Amino acid sequence: MRKWTAAGVAVLLVVVAVLVGVRWWQSSRSSGFERAVALAPADAQRLTWTDWAGVRRELRADLDADSSRAEVADFLSDAFDADLSPMSALLASTETMHEEFGFSPATLDWELLSQSESGAAVVMRLPEGTDFAALEDRLAGLGYQRPDEDTGIWLGGIDLLPSIGTLTPELQFLAVDAEQRVVLGSDTAAYAEQAMQTVTGDAAAVSGLEPVVDAVGAAGAPLAAAVYDGPVVCSALAMGSADPADQDQARELIAAAGEVNPLTGFAMAVEPSLDVRVAMSFENDDQARTNADTRATLASGPAPGQGGDFTDRFRLGPVSAEDGVVTMVLHPRQGQYPLSDLTSGPVLFATC
């Protein structure tokens, strides 16, 4: 049997203290967005984020669990008009969630939807003071089967949801982590279990992938955001979805603008100022510096496949390249919604 000396124990305690200190330092310096991404499964290819507490502050919406259905509906309408809700997976479910679950975008701190080829999961952070015992009793009363373990899967299924109300398929199977104030939902029990392993720290997170970390870090602390990994951005935003005439125009514009390299990660985010920040990561600093000029040129001209010019939608602000990431600030024109419009392709300045 191994024996520990007093000196050995002291060294171990110092190491543990250092690790805890480093984790605290990292947590204190990261945004809520980054901390949420750290809960997303490692296979996530597309992330969409809504800072619901921030949206409520921006819209001066004073809501709680006792707010009326009409007040919740008005909030959703205002969030839509401000282009602050398009990334949410819960919009159609909000009123039912508010009345039946006791939580919804009207009260959540934030929501993060992660999607991969294996499945989809939505992680929801509930506010401080949430009574999780009462919440779990409520779920059981709605027909979800209580798991044997604290962070196990609450079994619902496609037949249960209509009996509750209008709910997205990602709420078929749930898991609860009261310590982190998190409820996770997925459309399959298997993916809910897989995703929950990341939440509890038993599996790797997508935040371990450098291109995703770079794009997320450059996005700041947004109210709403979309994040794509390299393969997704190079397909979802590529010019290949445009008609042949638009593709021909795009090739001419790219040839005139300069060299374009494939993106390794992409984020588009609405900041608290309501400006839109775009972050595009590349393989190295040289590519980022080259693409900063090219992408700025492309973002200042015609928008084939979207119609008109990008300048009809926004005024291009500062463009910079640092640590392999190009960051562009877009100042939306009155009545224009870049986050809604430009997170699906074709988008010339984000082409690969």
Which residues, other chains included, contact 151 with Cβ-Cβ below 8 Å and sequence gap of 6+? 175, 176, 177, 196, 199, 200
Give the integer Cα–Cα distance in Å for 175 and 193: 8
Tokens of 251: 């090739």
Give CA angle at 296 (294, 302), nearest 5°.
95
Phi-psi region of 295 (alpha: psi -120 to 50; beta: other; left: phi over 0): alpha
Strand pairing class (224-229; 46-50): antiparallel
Give the integer Cα–Cα distance in Å for 173 and 175: 7
Strand pairing class (173-177; 182-186): antiparallel
Instruction: Write the pLDDT tens digit of every residue in 155-198.
Output: 999 999 999 999 999 999 999 999 999 999 999 999 999 999 99
Which pTM value belongs to this model? 0.89
Coil, strand or helix: which one is 116?
A: coil
Q: Determine the pLDDT at residue 22.
A: 29
Asked whether the beta carbons of 194 and 185 are under 8 A apart, the reply is no
- Classify residue 224 as exposed, middle or buried by CB count within 10 Å of its CB (0-12, 13-18, 19+): buried
Phi and psi, residue 326, nearest 5°: -95, 130
Sign, Cα dihedral of 300, 224, 350, 92 = negative
Give the integer Cα–Cα distance in Å for 63 and 104: 11
Q: Determine the pLDDT at residue 9.
A: 28
- Classify residue 67 as exposed, middle or buried by CB count within 10 Å of its CB (0-12, 13-18, 19+): middle
DSSP state letters, 132-181: HHHHHHHHHHHTPBPPSSTTSEEE--TTTHHHH-S--GGGSEEEEETTTT
Q: Determine the pLDDT at residue 30.
A: 62
- Residue 24 belongs to what H/E stretch? helix 6-29
Give the integer Cα–Cα distance in Å for 193 and 176: 11
Asked whether the beta carbons of 310 and 349 are under 8 A apart, the reply is yes
Give the integer Cα–Cα distance in Å for 67 and 217: 35
Coil, strand or helix: which one is 270?
A: strand
What stretches in the chain show pLDDT beneath 70?
1-30
Give the integer Cα–Cα distance in Å for 45 and 265: 10
